[in-house]
Amino acid sequence: MGDANANGHDTTDTLRAVLLALELVAAAGIAVWALVNIWALAYPPEPGTACALVYPPPPGCSPQARFTPAFLSAIVISLSYSAVTALVLTVGRRNAFVAVWALGGLLLVTVLAVQLVTWGGVPG
């Protein structure tokens, strides 16, 4: 068994609670980072800051071409964040390996979503 502190609580329970809180904060930070980047790319602050002035322009250089991928990416990131939160709060309490994989998957989804918005969606 784990060591008990002065209040009689098990220190492993405290460590698990802190680890769970850190995992949830990391998941929220990843999701917020991605959503901020997506909408900053979808609507740049000044005209002409989204792309270089070359002809023909690279794919997805107009803000109108970036709104739909940004909207769809925001939905995917929100659903992924919800799934990771549910996974961390259920299976992740017993198995830290699952929680780490879930956070890695969320990070991968957010990076791909930001790249999708950067290039203005799937060509075709």
Pairwise CA distance, residues 86 & 108, whole Å: 18
Q: H helices within the chain, ranges in order? A: 11-42, 63-90, 96-118
The per-residue pLDDT for range 100-119, each reduced to its tens digit, is: 999 999 999 999 999 988 87
- Residue boundaries of the structural domains of the chain: 11-118
User: Each residue of 68-81: pLDDT tens digit?
Assistant: 889 999 999 999 99
pLDDT at 27: 96
The rounded distance, in Å, linking the Cα atoms of 79 and 29 is 15
Tens-level pLDDT at each residue, the chain (124 residues): 455 566 656 788 888 889 899 999 999 999 999 999 998 888 766 665 556 677 766 666 665 677 888 999 999 999 999 999 999 999 988 888 999 999 999 999 999 999 988 877 655 4
